[in-house]
Amino acid sequence: MSYTFLLPCANPPAPAINLLASKISRTRPSFPCRSSMEKQQLIKGSKLMEFPYLTDPHRDTMVDLISAMENRLGSHLLPSSVPPDVEHYQNESGTSQGTLHIRCGIDSSPIDFVLASWLHLEQPTGGALDITNIAGYLKSSTDVPHFQFELVKCSPTFLILFLDLIPRKDIVFSPDYLKTYYEDTQLEKFRQQLDQLPEVKPYFSSSLYFRCVVSPTGILVSIKCEDGAGPERVEEIIREHVRPMSNDIMKIWIDMCVGEGVQVGETERAVLEKRDSLIKSKAIQMDLSSSMPKQFGQEVADRVLRVIKSVYNV
Amino acid sequence: MSYTFLLPCANPPAPAINLLASKISRTRPSFPCRSSMEKQQLIKGSKLMEFPYLTDPHRDTMVDLISAMENRLGSHLLPSSVPPDVEHYQNESGTSQGTLHIRCGIDSSPIDFVLASWLHLEQPTGGALDITNIAGYLKSSTDVPHFQFELVKCSPTFLILFLDLIPRKDIVFSPDYLKTYYEDTQLEKFRQQLDQLPEVKPYFSSSLYFRCVVSPTGILVSIKCEDGAGPERVEEIIREHVRPMSNDIMKIWIDMCVGEGVQVGETERAVLEKRDSLIKSKAIQMDLSSSMPKQFGQEVADRVLRVIKSVYNV
């Protein structure tokens, strides 16, 4: 999922990054495998984990989620094969920066890839947009939903949050799918909890297509705290609500991933693959291809996009 | 679509009515065909058109929509074959009442049936719920969305509105479907127009399944005017916004119905039929079967439900 799905403007200022590493890299990582400890340290020392432009609660939320993925799914994943100049990149003046961390699943894992990134985008109108993104995509051998967390800081008093387990099937056609992954897991309670805060409002993406991608319990909201202690209240909401519920939903998702799961037959696999592929193609078509060059220049955009398309397999 | 999808409570107080008349009745109406003028008069003199519990703007909205369907789609439709004791029914004490008007499409029409109804439901806690419903369902020979309008008066200062063209396909899998019926028709502007009113808020159905049935431009909102001139403001919103946009959306839908439309192949017809059927089954399973007897008693409920199931073909 591209996080520019979230941006309301007709001409989105943010590029999207999501995935990377060619199919080959999934079985042949571009650098030798490191021990678990070494990998942890690699991430810890990376530009990704610096989160230079975020508030403490926002950074803590990202660190929690990345750590949960690394710790619980580490044995499923190959080391990152993102080239250094895509792991961290910037525009010519250095005012806009991006990072990208991706690890593909090993052959025997249901994980296709996990991804984490942040983007800092200077806006022509002043101010900056800070986008953080964590995703976990599954292979078509399972029908477990994809995980997606995106938190966009539009200003110190205005955020957009997308937190969802993205369905792999048409739920209208598959009531059992709804029951297994959304009703039995009681995901709705998280959405309702956030919905009770007066600063939180449902957010409508400008993309009608994206609205259809979101699950029925998907959290897609704006958080606006313009009165009184605005920035402090935003931080409080992240610390007391967004962070704990993101951790809870990540845990539910990881439990699904490492659990028994549903065995998917050949015909259904083809359908899942096509549906996933349509979502990814639509994401690239909608924003990556046009906004990335604007934000980072053609050369950088081409480099990052090549990697993304390769992992998207589109 | 059952309108109790709209009700937030775990134990919905309202039954749902939607459709009626057996498959046979579509080609053999249970009473002789009347001229167009006679049919108009029949509806005009019916209990349906009395709308005894509604405010003027709410009644006017219903009359507009019913008239548009009757006038523009009249030649597509058989006369109503709803038995008199289902056209209007009530509970033993007469405190709750329901009406139902249904006309099935002639063989050569893409219309499966059109439906209009109102329900007045006394609540155990005092007050009453007034539900009005207009729907147009299509056959599987076309993939044009279904039309659905439901306006629920929970109190003089609180309404719930559902106004949508319900997709027949998984839009994630069918971006062309989205373009044809939702983007090119600019339906989003109506949702945005209503969204700008401070009294209007997105409404989340308690049914996760129902949330997936709604289109990306679907209007599913609460209208709450508790401050100041509450009831008058509610009437104003219906008169100035709900009524004109309902008429506009109905016009868009009718144009689709009588237009060229997409020719649907055999395989796709089977899928459309199954998907439509799942939605209807779910509606009956979720509320009709349990709430109808509670509200009207078993005998009345059985009578109405028999008719509904017959038209739903489930």
Whole-Å CA distances, A45 to A36, A90, A162, B73, B314? 14, 19, 27, 68, 61
Which one of 3.40.1500.20, 1.10.10.60, 3.90.25.10, 3.40.640.10 gives the CATH number of domain B3-312? 3.40.1500.20
Does B188 touch chain A if contact means CB atoms closer than 8 Å?
Answer: yes
pLDDT at B6 over 80: no
Q: Quick one: tokens of A310?
A: 């390769």
Q: Higher pLDDT residue, A264 or A27?
A: A264
Question: What average pLDDT does the segment B227-244 reach?
Answer: 92
Label residue A51 left, alpha or beta by phi (over 0 means left) and psi (-120 to 50 means alpha).
left
Residue with tokens 């990054």, as numbered in its chain: A17
Q: Per-residue pLDDT tens for B269-295? A: 999 999 999 998 888 877 667 778 888
CB contact under 8 A, B170 and A175: no
Q: Per-residue pLDDT tens for A49-90? A: 888 899 999 999 999 999 999 999 999 999 988 999 999 999
Q: Are A148 and A69 in contact (CB under 8 A)?
A: no
Reference B119, options B226, B2, B11; nearest CA is: B2
Reference A1, options A253, A308, A274; nearest CA is: A308
Q: Are A81 and A30 in contact (CB under 8 A)?
A: yes
- Measure A286 CA to nearest chain B CA, in Å: 12
**pLDDT band at residue A284 using 50, 70 and 90 as cut-offs:** confident
Reference A100, options A108, A114, A88, A90; nearest CA is: A88
Question: What average pLDDT does the segment B200-212 reach?
Answer: 95
Q: Per-residue pLDDT tens for B93-143? A: 999 999 999 999 999 999 999 999 999 998 888 889 999 999 999 999 999
Q: Per-residue pLDDT tens for B7-27? A: 333 333 333 333 222 222 333
Q: What is the pLDDT of residue B32?
A: 36
**pLDDT band at residue A285 using 50, 70 and 90 as cut-offs:** confident
Q: What is the pLDDT of residue A15?
A: 30
pLDDT at A47 over 50: yes
Question: Closest partner residue to B188 among A208, A217, A275, by Cβ?
Answer: A208
Question: Closest partner residue to A208 among B173, B195, B217, by Cβ?
Answer: B217
Q: What is the pLDDT of residue B260?
A: 74
Question: What average pLDDT does the segment A132-153 reach?
Answer: 95
Whole-Å CA distances, B229 to B11, B102, B285? 31, 37, 40
Reference B280, options B110, B132, B146; nearest CA is: B146
Residue of B nearest to A166 (CA): B172
Residue of B nearest to A273 (CA): B173
Q: Lowest-confidence range among A13-17, A276-280, B96-100?
A: A13-17
**pLDDT band at residue A287 using 50, 70 and 90 as cut-offs:** low
**pLDDT band at residue A32 using 50, 70 and 90 as cut-offs:** very low
Question: What average pLDDT does the segment B43-65 reach?
Answer: 89
Q: Which amino acid is at B78?
A: L
Q: Lowest-confidence range among A191-200, A276-285, B249-258?
A: A276-285
Q: Report the mean per-residue pLDDT for chain A.
A: 85
Question: What average pLDDT does the segment A13-31 reach?
Answer: 31
Determine the 3-state secondary structure of A313 from DSSP: coil
Whole-Å CA distances, A80 to A22, A32, A115, A172, A284? 11, 10, 10, 37, 22
Q: Rounded to whole angstroms, how far apart are CA atoms B97 and B154?
A: 16
Q: What is the pLDDT of residue A281?
A: 87
Q: What is the pLDDT of residue A18?
A: 30
Q: What is the pLDDT of residue B48?
A: 87
Q: What is the pLDDT of residue B37?
A: 53
Among residues 214-243 of chain A, which lie with CB inside 8 Å of chain B?
216-217
- Measure A102 CA to nearest chain B CA, in Å: 25
Q: Rounded to whole angstroms, how far apart are CA atoms A309 and A303?
A: 10
CB contact under 8 A, A175 and B282: yes
Q: Are A17 and A4 in contact (CB under 8 A)?
A: no
ipTM: 0.87
pLDDT at A37 over 80: no
Q: Which residues of A touch B191 (CB under 8 A)?
A: 204
Q: What is the pLDDT of residue B144?
A: 96
CB contact under 8 A, A172 and B275: yes
